[in-house]
Structure 1
Amino acid sequence: MVIRTELRRSAAPWAAVLIVGIAAVLLFAFSGPWWKGGGAWNREWTGLARWERNTLVLLWPFAVGVGALQGLRDHRSGMAELLTTTPRPRWRRTAQTAGAMAIAMAVGYLVIFAIGAVQVAGNASYFHWGWTPVLLVGMLSLIGAAWLGMGIACLVPSVLTPPLLAVGALAVAMVTRISPDGGSSLSGSVPDRIAWLSPVQDGPDEAFTSVTGSMNLAQGLWFLAIAVTGFLLLAATRVATKLLAVVPMLVGAAVALPLLPATAAQVQEVDQGAVALVCAEGTPRVCVTNVHKEFLETLVQPAREALALLAKVPGAPTSVEEATTGQPLYGRRPVVPGVVQIDFDDFDLASGERTTTDPDRLRRYLVAGVGTPTCYGRMEMDENYMSLRAASAVSAAALTGELKPLSGSSSAYFRNELETLARPAWESFRVLPAAEQIARLSAMRVAAETCRGGTLEILTNGVAR
């Protein structure tokens, strides 16, 4: 009954509503990275849980601020001194207020997840429970933030305390946010283990990874320690008790830091269930990962048609498999001999959105470069990049009989540059005898597979300069 009263008269209900509103505006009003890639927040369960952690960049400071506002209630009402004279222990009375705030934080955070879960349930073909720890740690961080704000406000009962705490928490959240690729912005300035104490995580770029168990455990212990410190500050009546309230945070940090990953590469791990291959019946072999098994039926026919076209070139791949790692920021992913690797998040197929189901684009993608992967990472581009793209387009045209852009949604700049380079090369290549075309395609494949460069020159001149 008392908790019900606290839920009615405290800031808790409005806090829950605002948490949902802030997160919804962030997720729906902006086309950020949370909409893109296989790990998008509305496409995959782990992606949903991890991208919701990204919203903590605003929700965590809000929780600290609203907690501090709630913590000033007794001081604002002028009842603080009167309440100290009642026989009821302060910790018992404050526990009800803190409990109401914890319920609000948890409900608000879970409602956000439920909104995303409705979308994921309609899109994902791979269900698992690996996302649960990520969700619970994020929820615990909100509760800890609210309780810490309440405790500090009781310690420093000033009207400036809530806004100053919120602004300070926002600065901390912005600076310490964790990226699965680049680590924290504090990397290099402080040890990575300290940076990993941040509640804010950027979501994944693809659907094959999850947060390591040690990361979830360590962060869970840390945010629990923050919550305990906040509650002790809220319940303390003596100076000595208030001073001792910081001990749980110190102990939590001491326990969590050794458990946290030493490097950014150890923050996440491969989800073996997600990367397990699911293959179509018959030959040639065509396989996709378990997390994308809904694409298998769409892929089989154009993949086998592409392999039939590639069979004209000596040494060309003889099977198609989905790549089980995302395209790195720099450099190429490992080459699998005899296999054309398909990446459903490649911008030639998806451009950051849902992958294409157009058979012609899938077939052209698979034969481009005679089945070889790009030599460039997602963040790389140099003077040879467009030449390699043009060579891939010409090689696809050589096998399909028609020159088309590899991507259905590249920018006008890329299309114009590609047309400028690829069209003359194709016109000179298409008049060559069939045997010479095959020889040049074979040489181009070897050069592309080893990233030696000069692929466009091989197609136009027979040799690389």
Structure 2
Amino acid sequence: MTPDIGRPGSEAPRTGASRIPAPGTGTPEIRTPDIRTPEIRTPDIRTPEIRTLDIRTPEIEAPEIGTPGMRAPGSGTPEIRIPEIGTPEIEAPEIRTAEIRTAGIRAPGSGTPRTRPARPLTASTATAAAGSARPGDPGALVPPTVPPSRRRTRGVLGTELRRGVGPWAAGAAVVVCWVTMYGKSPQWMGRWAETTDLLRVAALLLCGPLAVAVGCWQGGRERRRATGDLLASLPRAPLRRTLLAVAPAALWPPAGYLLAAAGCALATWPYAAGGPFLSLVAADAVALAALGVLGFVAGRLIPWRPAAPLLAAVTYVGLGVPTYADSPARWLDPALDHLYVWDRPVWWFGPASMVWTAGLAGAALLAYAARRRISALPPLAAACAAAVLLTGAGNGLWRPDPAAARLVCDDGAPRVCVTAVDRKLLPSVSAALAGLNAQLRGVPGAPVRWVDGPRAPGPGREQLAVAPGVVVREVGKPVLLGPREAQLPDPFGLSEHGEISDPALYANWAVGYLFSQDCSGTDFDTPAARRATAVNDAVNQWLAPRPDSAGVPLYEGEVHLRRLRAMDREESRAYLARYLAADLCRAEEVPVP
């Protein structure tokens, strides 16, 4: 029987209490176990950066530990010791945030939060915070997003531009332009004016019908798919739906043309002097976009599948016929070119052309799709104003360019001078005329300078763009500068990649220009005229042999040619002086070698 602890019928003493009986009472001594109170550490919580965040310190209560019962020594029951119980350390998680408005932290035992001043949220801080926050953090912010309606519009526009006939139309425009330009490369590669003119013809006269056909086919898409009623039931405005649908026809053909124009510009740049007419290139792109929009409206209104090719044919005729007219109204045709390299357009020609074509297309689109048809009047009024401006100026849209007609000369004898638009061809021209100049040098009556200058005027022009000292003899005729200066053939006609492709032929042409005279009214059927013609052929072949005439007899002139080749230097110079002084239109004055 185990004796009770304490007085009979009493319970075990509570933790921390001890009863020690008096000596001699026979009650065993009871030792009170040393129970340590667990230490509770307050977690260190960093101030989170949040708008309004109330973080409370968790309240941790120490477990109530009772003193287990013990048996007295000597009773056969071992002594039980109470183990030491420690309290685990609790660490608060680190919370990152991107913005501080009012951060409150309640300290243990207090209800007053601590606050910090707010920092403004910027795009950079929001993006950095969104990237640095870990998923699931309460302070992680979502980066700024685009409104849902704008996201949907961009998504629909991207889908419209990626699919359908739009990309194929751009590729077709590039192929058409490049094939056309490649086949006529000798006609434009070397002069910016020629490049711009031929690009305009290829873009508008060939790619214009293509843009109209693509727009018409795009406009009839909803009718072919029977989705018109479904689209009409959507909450999106009709004009907005129409703008999204017309985007491929209005954007892809101009994009293809601009890509082709960039390629042609890169091909021309090493060989041409000056720069392209960028305003006209932009006006051509806007005209292509306008044709696409007009074709789209026509496709919405004409419920007929063959409408697209028929409209393309009508567009080709409508753009080509005004180029043969001679009235101020022809300048409303965006496909009209200007074949005169010594002119440049007035600064407002390109912008006025853009307003004219874009105004017509915008008025047609608004009249079809806008809720208020009256909104089509402003673009229509702008187009009419631009049309009045273009037709009123007429041929004055192109003005003489003295910088283009400026002469650039070498230091040879005779000197060779070309205009500034062909100045990169000057070394090649001088080399082609080197042999001819060696025979003419020092001969009495021989020219002292070869000059290339403005020739035939542009459409409707009555005067030529001339540099100081240039005298125009007659419209459409070569320009001569004084009695000792001779006209050069157009070097651009025989140039290829910045050089004269056939120097011998060019020198032969120069001799023909040197001895050419207006002999209208002369009877060439007389024996004297036939003899003078034979002498002229022999002199031309002697000074600059034509390369394709090798082995071809000159019949009557063959005898004169052998005599000329048999002369020594002094005899040939004396004969050439007499020949230059003679009136070649009077057969009896032509000297026979």
Which TM bucket (shorter chain)?
0.7 to 0.9
Q: How far 1:394 moved relative to its partner?
A: 3.5
In the alignment, structure 1 residue 333 sits paired with structure 2 residue 478: yes
1:287 to 417, 440, 443: 417
- Which structure has the higher relative contact order (CA within 8 Å, separation 6+)? 1
In the alignment, structure 1 residue 256 sits paired with structure 2 residue 376: no
Q: How far 1:219 moved relative to its partner?
A: 2.4
Q: How far 1:343 moved relative to its partner?
A: 2.7
Q: How far 1:461 moved relative to its partner?
A: 6.3
Kindly report which structure 2 residues correspond to 1:30-429, keeping only aligned pairs within 5 A, or say none: 31=183, 34-37=184-187, 40=188, 42-55=189-202, 56-124=204-272, 126-128=273-275, 130-176=276-322, 184-187=323-326, 192-202=327-337, 204=339, 207-213=341-347, 215-236=349-370, 241=373, 245=376, 248-249=379-380, 252-260=383-391, 266=396, 268-281=398-411, 285-300=415-430, 303=433, 306-307=436-437, 309-310=439-440, 313-325=443-455, 331-337=476-482, 338-345=484-491, 356=500, 363-368=507-512, 371-372=514-515, 375=518, 393-397=537-541, 400=543, 404-405=545-546, 408=547, 419-420=554-555, 422-423=557-558, 426=561
Gap regions ≥5 residues in structure 1: 177-183, 377-381, 448-452
Cα root mean square deviation, aligned: 4.1
Higher mean C-alpha displacement, 80-89 vs 110-119:
80-89
Larger-gyration structure (1/2): 2
Tell me, in whole angstroms, the C-alpha distance in 2 between the residues paired with 1:409 and 1:236: 68
What is the DSSP-based 3-state SS (H/G/I as helix, E as strand, rest coil) of the residue aligned with 2:270? helix
What is the DSSP-based 3-state SS (H/G/I as helix, E as strand, rest coil) of the residue aligned with 2:589? helix
* Shift in alpha-carbon separation, 1:170–1:244, aligned structure 2, 3 A: farther
* Shift in alpha-carbon separation, 1:173–1:302, aligned structure 2, 3 A: closer
**Partners of 2:425 and 2:498 within 8 A in 1:** no
* Shift in alpha-carbon separation, 1:109–1:439, aligned structure 2, 3 A: closer
Q: Which amino acid aligns with 2:310?
A: L
* Shift in alpha-carbon separation, 1:383–1:84, aligned structure 2, 3 A: farther
Q: Which amino acid aligns with 2:425?
A: F
Q: How far 1:64 moved relative to its partner?
A: 0.8
Tell me, in whole angstroms, the C-alpha distance in 2 between the residues paired with 1:218 and 1:310: 52
* Shift in alpha-carbon separation, 1:67–1:363, aligned structure 2, 3 A: closer
**Partners of 1:57 and 1:174 within 8 A in 2:** yes
What is the DSSP-based 3-state SS (H/G/I as helix, E as strand, rest coil) of the residue aligned with 2:236? coil
**Partners of 1:46 and 1:207 within 8 A in 2:** yes
What is the DSSP-based 3-state SS (H/G/I as helix, E as strand, rest coil) of the residue aligned with 1:196? helix
* Shift in alpha-carbon separation, 1:361–1:64, aligned structure 2, 3 A: closer
Higher mean C-alpha displacement, 386-395 vs 4-13:
386-395
Q: How far 1:87 moved relative to its partner?
A: 2.4
Tell me, in whole angstroms, the C-alpha distance in 1 between the residues paired with 2:429 and 2:541: 20
Q: How far 1:430 moved relative to its partner?
A: 7.5
Tell me, in whole angstroms, the C-alpha distance in 2 between the residues paired with 1:150 and 1:280: 56
Higher mean C-alpha displacement, 271-280 vs 14-23:
271-280
* Shift in alpha-carbon separation, 1:281–1:49, aligned structure 2, 3 A: same
Tell me, in whole angstroms, the C-alpha distance in 2 between the residues paired with 1:75 and 1:62: 21
* Shift in alpha-carbon separation, 1:20–1:300, aligned structure 2, 3 A: closer
Q: How far 1:365 moved relative to its partner?
A: 4.5
**Partners of 2:212 and 2:315 within 8 A in 1:** yes
Note the alpha carbon deviations across 1:20-53, whole angstroms, 9 max, x for none: 122233333xx4xx4344xx1x323332222111
Higher mean C-alpha displacement, 209-218 vs 158-167:
209-218
Q: Which amino acid aligns with 2:353?
A: Q
Tell me, in whole angstroms, the C-alpha distance in 2 between the residues paired with 1:163 and 1:360: 49
Query: Larger % of helix: which?
Result: 1
* Shift in alpha-carbon separation, 1:250–1:61, aligned structure 2, 3 A: farther
**Partners of 1:72 and 1:154 within 8 A in 2:** yes
* Shift in alpha-carbon separation, 1:51–1:203, aligned structure 2, 3 A: farther
Q: Which amino acid aligns with 2:231?
A: L
Note the alpha carbon deviations across 1:106-126, whole angstroms, 9 max, x for none: 2101111122123212322x1
**Partners of 1:278 and 1:289 within 8 A in 2:** yes
* Shift in alpha-carbon separation, 1:397–1:167, aligned structure 2, 3 A: closer
In the alignment, structure 1 residue 3 sits paired with structure 2 residue 150: no
What is the DSSP-based 3-state SS (H/G/I as helix, E as strand, rest coil) of the residue aligned with 1:122? coil
Note the alpha carbon deviations across 1:272-307, whole angstroms, 9 max, x for none: 333322233476543322222223233446657645
* Shift in alpha-carbon separation, 1:284–1:426, aligned structure 2, 3 A: closer
What is the DSSP-based 3-state SS (H/G/I as helix, E as strand, rest coil) of the residue aligned with 2:171? helix
* Shift in alpha-carbon separation, 1:304–1:354, aligned structure 2, 3 A: closer
Q: Which amino acid aligns with 2:391?
A: L
Higher mean C-alpha displacement, 247-256 vs 10-19:
247-256
In the alignment, structure 1 residue 458 sits paired with structure 2 residue 592: no
User: Number of residue pairs matched?
Assistant: 413
* Shift in alpha-carbon separation, 1:323–1:142, aligned structure 2, 3 A: same
Tell me, in whole angstroms, the C-alpha distance in 2 between the residues paired with 1:434 and 1:285: 22
Tell me, in whole angstroms, the C-alpha distance in 1 between the residues paired with 2:478 and 2:364: 46
What is the DSSP-based 3-state SS (H/G/I as helix, E as strand, rest coil) of the residue aligned with 1:123? coil
* Shift in alpha-carbon separation, 1:345–1:285, aligned structure 2, 3 A: closer
State the match for 2:467 in structure 1.
none
Note the alpha carbon deviations across 1:181-209, whole angstroms, 9 max, x for none: xxx3233xxxx1222221223463x6434
Note the alpha carbon deviations across 1:83-111, whole angstroms, 9 max, x for none: 22322211122222333433212210111
* Shift in alpha-carbon separation, 1:422–1:246, aligned structure 2, 3 A: farther
**Partners of 2:293 and 2:365 within 8 A in 1:** yes
* Shift in alpha-carbon separation, 1:390–1:269, aligned structure 2, 3 A: farther
State the match for 1:441 in structure 2.
579
Note the alpha carbon deviations across 1:155-203, whole angstroms, 9 max, x for none: 3333233233222112212322xxxxxxx3233xxxx122222122346
